[in-house]
Copies of this chain bind each other. A is one copy, B any other.
Amino acid sequence: MKKPTNYKIPEDDFLAMRPEVLAGWPTGQRVDLAEALEYHSSLAAEKNMVNRLQQALKKGETLTQPRAGVALPEELKELLTFLHQEGEADVLPTTIDSYTRQNQYREADRGIEESRHEERSMLNGFPAVNHGVEVCRDVIESIEVPLQVRHGTPDSRLLAEITLAGGFSDFEGGPISYNIPYAKKVSLEKTLRDWQYVDRLVGLYQERGIDINREPFGPLTGTLIPPSTSHAVAILEALLAAEQGVKYLSLGCSQNGNMVQDIAAIDTLEELAEKYLSSEGYSDITISTVFHQWMGGFPQDEAKAYAVISWGAATAALSGATKVIVKTPHEAMGIPTKEANADGLKATKQVVNMMKEQSFDQGEKLDREKQMIRQEVAQILSRVKEIGEGDWCQGVIRSFEAGILDIPFAPSRYNSGRVLPARDNNGAVRYLDSGELPFDSEIMEFHDNKLAERGEFEEREASFQMVIDDIYAIGKGMLIGRPRE
Contacts and interface: CB of A to CB of B under 8 A. Distances in A.
Interface of A: 257-260, 299, 301-304, 306-311, 313-314, 329, 342-351, 353-355, 357-366, 425-427, 474, 477-480
B313 A307 contact: yes
A394 B350 CA distance: 45
A301 B364 contact: no
A307 B310 contact: yes
- In the assembly, how many copies of this chain are there? 2
Q: Most chain-B Cβ atoms within 10 A of its Cβ — which of A311, A350, A355?
A: A350
Given A303-B345, A307-B354, A357-B425, 17 more contacts: A257-B354, A303-B342, A303-B350, A304-B346, A304-B347, A306-B347, A307-B346, A307-B351, A310-B311, A310-B314, A311-B351, A355-B479, A357-B426, A359-B365, A360-B365, A361-B366, A363-B363
A367 to B, nearest CB: 8
A303 B353 CA distance: 14
B306 A259 contact: no
A439 to B, nearest CB: 25
A361 B361 contact: yes
A160 to B, nearest CB: 34
A477 B349 contact: yes
Contacts of A479: 353-355, 357-358
Contacts of A359: 365, 426
Contacts of A477: 349-350, 353
A355 B315 CA distance: 12
A363 B425 CA distance: 23
Contact of A260 (B299, B358, B480): B358
Given A302-B343, A343-B302, A307 B350 contact: yes
Name the residue in A344, A347, A425 with the highest tally of chain B Cβ atoms < 10 Å from its Cβ. Answer: A347
Contacts of A360: 259-260, 360-361, 365
A20 B359 CA distance: 56
Nearest to A348: B307
Main secondary structure of the interface of A (DSSP, over half): helix
A358 B426 contact: yes
Contacts of A366: 361
Contacts of A308: 350, 354
A360 B307 CA distance: 20
A61 B314 CA distance: 22
Contact of A353 (B313, B347, B478): B478
Nearest to A342: B303
A345 B301 CA distance: 12
A425 B5 CA distance: 52
Contact of A306 (B303, B354, B357, B364): B303
A364 B363 CA distance: 9
A347 B426 contact: no
A301 to B, nearest CB: 6
A303 B344 contact: yes
A189 B342 CA distance: 53
A427 B354 contact: yes
A432 to B, nearest CB: 17
A350 B475 CA distance: 10
A342 B363 CA distance: 37
Contact of A351 (B310, B329, B353): B310
A231 B363 CA distance: 28
Q: Which 4 pairs, one residue from A and one from B, show the smallest C-beta to C-beta distance? A: A361-B363, A310-B310, A307-B350, A303-B343
Nearest to A328: B303
A191 to B, nearest CB: 35
